[in-house]
Amino acid sequence: MGGITNPAEEYFKDGLWAWDPAAGVWLKLIIDPLTNQLSVAVNNDVEVHQTAPADLAAGAHGWDGSAWRKLPLVWGYSEEWGEQRIGTAAGAGNATTHTVAVPGGYVYVLSALAIIQTSGAAQHVYAQLVRGVLAVALVDEATATSGQSYCWHGHVPLKEDDYVEAVCVAPGDGQAVHLRVWGYKMKVAE
């Protein structure tokens, strides 16, 4: 590799290089990721032998000390998630609203929520995570003041078809419950 010290040459700033006088070639120096020691980059092919045809099927794999195994889902961030919903009572019924259900191919992580009722009087409000027939309370305030924000903070993963629901119990015709949620989305690799 002639001209390695010439800034006009293609490889000038491509890492550190050392001259091998025995072979008469320039060799690129690298940091070995396992030992953190400086070594010479060698272009050798590594051959992988599979003990069963599906050992290394597509996906992330790791060596557990005895065999290559598919790694569990790597937790990540794809984009933010935030929704604001309003539910209005009809007649003497409850004011109810909920987020859009988590779509297939995603996991949502709920980080915080706020619930507000607008009846003008103290009312029972609650927000819950709904997973099929299971509902888990996140906020439950028996005497929520009108216009007051009741909050929850945490870290709850939601899978496909899960959603967050807010209810104000019998606030009066035309009165509303506001639900605000925020967190993030993670696309599930297929």
Same domain, 39 and 104: no
Q: Which of 163, 6, 190 is nearest to 87 (CA)?
A: 163
Same domain, 95 and 38: no
CA angle 188, 189, 190 (to 5 degrees): 110
Distance of CA 64 to the CA centre of its chain: 25
Answer whether residue 154 is part of any domain. yes
C-alpha to C-alpha distance for 95 and 117, rounded to whole angstroms:
9
Answer whether residue 56 is part of any domain. no
Same domain, 40 and 83: no
Strands 163-168 and 68-70: unpaired
pLDDT value of position 10: 54
Same domain, 106 and 176: yes
Look at the chain and report how many structural domains it folds into: 2
- CATH number (domain holding residue 86): 2.60.120.1330
C-alpha to C-alpha distance for 49 and 167, rounded to whole angstroms:
58
pLDDT value of position 162: 98
Structural domain range at position 34:
1-44
Find out whether 114 and 121 touch, Cβ atoms under 8 Å: no
pLDDT value of position 188: 86
Distance of CA 53 to the CA centre of its chain: 32
Same domain, 151 and 107: yes
pLDDT value of position 30: 72
Same domain, 95 and 183: yes
Answer whether residue 61 is part of any domain. no
Is the pTM here over 0.75, yes or no? no
C-alpha to C-alpha distance for 29 and 65, rounded to whole angstroms:
29
Same domain, 98 and 182: yes
Q: Which two tokens stand for residue 11?
A: 């490889």
pLDDT value of position 172: 92
pLDDT in tens, the chain (190 residues): 454 555 555 555 566 677 777 777 777 777 666 666 666 555 555 455 555 555 555 556 677 777 777 777 678 888 999 999 999 999 999 999 999 999 999 999 999 999 999 998 999 999 999 999 999 999 999 999 999 999 999 999 999 999 999 999 999 999 999 999 999 999 986 6
Same domain, 148 and 83: yes
